[in-house]
Amino acid sequence: MNVEFPPDLLLRLKSANHVAVLTGAGTSAESGVPTFRDAQTGLWAKYDPQELATPQAFRHNPALVWDWYTWRRSLVAKAKPNAGHFALAQMSSYVPEFTLITQNVDGLHQQAGSLDVIELHGNIMHTKCFNCGRPVDEYQGTGESPPRCPYCDGLLRPDVVWFGENLTEYALSRAFLAARDCDIFLSIGTSSVTLPAASLPVEAMELGTSTVEINPDRTPLTPHMTYVLAGPSGVLLPKLIHATWPD
Which residues contact ligand BV8 by CB under 6 A?
24-27, 29-30, 35-37, 53, 103-105, 121, 160-167, 189-191, 193-196, 215-217, 219, 232-234
Please confirm, yes or no, whether 242 is among the known catalytic residues. no
Alpha-carbon distance of 74 to 91, in angstroms, equals 29
Residue 148 touching Zn ion (CB under 5 A): no
Query: Taking CB within 5 to 8 Å according to partner kind, which of ligand BV8, Zn ion, none is near residue 149?
Result: Zn ion
Nearer to ligand BV8, 15 or 41 (CB): 41
Alpha-carbon distance of 48 to 36, in angstroms, equals 10
Alpha-carbon distance of 87 to 83, in angstroms, equals 6
Nearer to ligand BV8, 11 or 80 (CB): 80
Among 25, 76, 118, 149, binds Zn ion (CB under 5 A): 149
Q: Which residues pair with 128 in a beta bridge?
A: 135, 157
Apex 200 CA angle, 194 and 206, nearest 5: 125
Question: In the bound complex, which residue of the shown chain has the CB atom lying closest to ligand BV8?
Answer: 26
Size of the site for Zn ion (CB under 5 A): 7
Task: Pick the closest to residue 27 from 70, 78, 71, 83 (CA basis).
Answer: 83
Alpha-carbon distance of 24 to 186, in angstroms, equals 11
Nearer to ligand BV8, 217 or 247 (CB): 217
- Nearest distance from C-beta of residue 112 to ligand BV8, angstroms: 15
Alpha-carbon distance of 109 to 85, in angstroms, equals 6
Query: Taking CB within 5 to 8 Å according to partner kind, which of Zn ion, ligand BV8, none is near residue 230?
Result: none
- The dihedrals phi and psi of 188, each to the nearest 5 degrees, come to -125, 125
Nearer to ligand BV8, 152 or 202 (CB): 202
Alpha-carbon distance of 5 to 11, in angstroms, equals 10
Alpha-carbon distance of 124 to 120, in angstroms, equals 12
Segment holding 88, helix H or strand E: helix 83-91
Half-sphere exposure at residue 57, Cβ-oriented, CA atoms within 13 angstroms: 19
- Nearest distance from C-beta of residue 167 to ligand BV8, angstroms: 6
- Nearest distance from C-beta of residue 176 to ligand BV8, angstroms: 14
Residue 11 touching Zn ion (CB under 5 A): no
Choosing from 121, 126, 224, 242, the catalytic residue is: 121
- Nearest distance from C-beta of residue 12 to ligand BV8, angstroms: 21
Nearer to ligand BV8, 120 or 136 (CB): 120
List, by residue number, the catalytic residues: 121
